[in-house]
Chains A and B, each alone.
Chain A
Amino acid sequence: MIWGWIPANADRILALTLEHLRLSLIPVVAGLLLAVPFGWLANRYRPARAVLIPAAGVLYTIPSLALFVVLPGILGTQILSEVNIVVALTMYTVALLVRIVADALAAVPGTVVASATAMGYRPARRFFDVELPLAVPVLVAGLRVATASTVNLVTVGALIGVGGLGELFTEGFQLNFPTEIVTGVTLVVLLTFVGDALLLGLSRASTPWSRVGGRS
């Protein structure tokens, strides 16, 4: 390790970290926002489930670098455009979360839904006030996996020129400079852990009832 390299390049490292953050955050948030309606559909309508769940499985099977490369051909974007990475990682997040959302919603006890209905909740409010909150613990478990894999996959983008901290890997390889790579690896792991901790905190804060009577 050549420690002096880090402060000397602090600006660039910070810029790459922020780029990495942006490239991971957008797909996770967008993926979640898309997965909830899809998951709801899959849980509500059997034919939707029969299409969405296997489709998500197939989508998840497609290797990330392959998707990064093929997307420009489909979207008409530049091959070095960030959009490809963001769209590809969003697709993975949706693919991972659709089944989890559907299963989590299916796990909400029928009696709870019936009680909410009896109290006068209309379907839309019942969904956002009762069913979705009860699905949060399972949802967050899935979101943690999605976040970790997204933060990780962003680095693969470096192979095609857009990769946040992954660019430290490819550059470190070309320069035969391990310090740069260790710095990148450490920051990626840190980002993952911070994301994980934030999600856990969010889950605890949004499900106060799970702390009262033992396990939820």
Chain B
Amino acid sequence: MNLVVEVVAWFADPGNWQGSTGVPARIAEHLSYTVQAVVLAALVAVPLGAVIGHTGRGGFLVIGMANGLRALPDLGLLILLVLLIGIGLLPLTIALVVLAIPALLAGTYAGVRNVDAAVVDAARGMGMREREVLWKVELPVALPLIFGGLRTATLQVIATAVIGAFVALGGLGRYLIDGLALNDYPRMVAGALLIAVLALLVEGLLAGLQRLVVSAGLRSVPARPRTPRPTRAVAGGTEA
């Protein structure tokens, strides 16, 4: 009970909401790290996944790369980069981009690869060039899975951006790292709650965006199968 009171008191303290160490500033930092990393990762992973998915060549490369990158511990990578490059935003961004790539790459690849062959054939039959097939047919149809990858990647980056605080950067991780150093448990809990709420809000936002962007014709094939009918719905469950 005591702890709850202390955490509430922490949130009620106006001093925690002002200036460069206040909650709004920390959230802004956290989001800027996240957006930077996810955008950069998407610039690499989405075109690569789309081309590999479209041509069907190099699928093993996607899987190998995704698994290999996933195995790298982010904290170790970040600290190593800091020792090599020096303290700054660059090491964190690299570590977070490496973290975000596998989910985006796998999502895009699986999305484009799983487009019904009959649909692609129909597009070609209508006289579309390969480029048009990819842009106008495969990518729009693949959007639910691409979004699935984007959401996973974004959540992972938000959760992991916390480690930036360990190498003297800002973001919500500061409350955890500083709270630990100062033995200020309420501050740590407040930071943890802020991160969790931020993650949930961003996830909700992306889910809403997905609804807006994904063609209504695809509604019946959601990224996460709801009530799978016998055999068909499995494919969606395994791609993660």
- Interface of A toward B, CB cutoff 8 Å: 46, 49, 53, 58, 60-67, 69-70, 73, 79, 96, 99-100, 103-104, 106-107, 109-110, 138, 141-142, 145, 148-149, 151-152, 155-156, 158-160, 165-166, 168-170, 172-173, 176, 178, 181-182, 184-185, 188-189, 192-193, 196
- Interface of B toward A, CB cutoff 8 Å: 3, 67, 70-77, 79-80, 82-84, 155, 158-160, 162-163, 166-167, 173, 176-177, 179-180, 185, 188-189, 191-193, 195-196, 199-200, 203, 224-225, 227-228, 230-231, 233-234, 236-238, 240
CB neighbours of B72 from chain A (8 A): 152, 185, 188-189
Task: Tell which of B70, B73, B166, B203 has the most Cβ of chain A within 10 Å.
Answer: B73
In the complex where A138-B237, A148-B70, A159-B176 touch, is A173 in contact with B227 (Cβ < 8 A)?
Answer: no
CB neighbours of A58 from chain B (8 A): 200
From B3, B196, B230, contact of A62 by CB (8 A): B196
In the complex where A63-B162, A63-B196, A107-B233 touch, is A49 in contact with B73 (Cβ < 8 A)?
Answer: no
Decide: B191 and A166 in contact? CB cutoff 8 A.
no
Chain B residue nearest to A157 (CB atoms) is: B75
Decide: A69 and B188 in contact? CB cutoff 8 A.
yes
Decide: B166 and A173 in contact? CB cutoff 8 A.
yes
Chain B residue nearest to A72 (CB atoms) is: B185
CB neighbours of B75 from chain A (8 A): 155-156, 158-159, 166, 169-170
In the complex where A107-B231, A178-B80 touch, is A184 in contact with B73 (Cβ < 8 A)?
Answer: yes
Provide 12 A-B residue pairs closer than 8 Å at the C-beta atoms, listed in order of the A residue. A61-B200, A63-B192, A103-B228, A103-B238, A142-B238, A145-B70, A151-B71, A152-B72, A155-B74, A165-B73, A184-B73, A188-B73
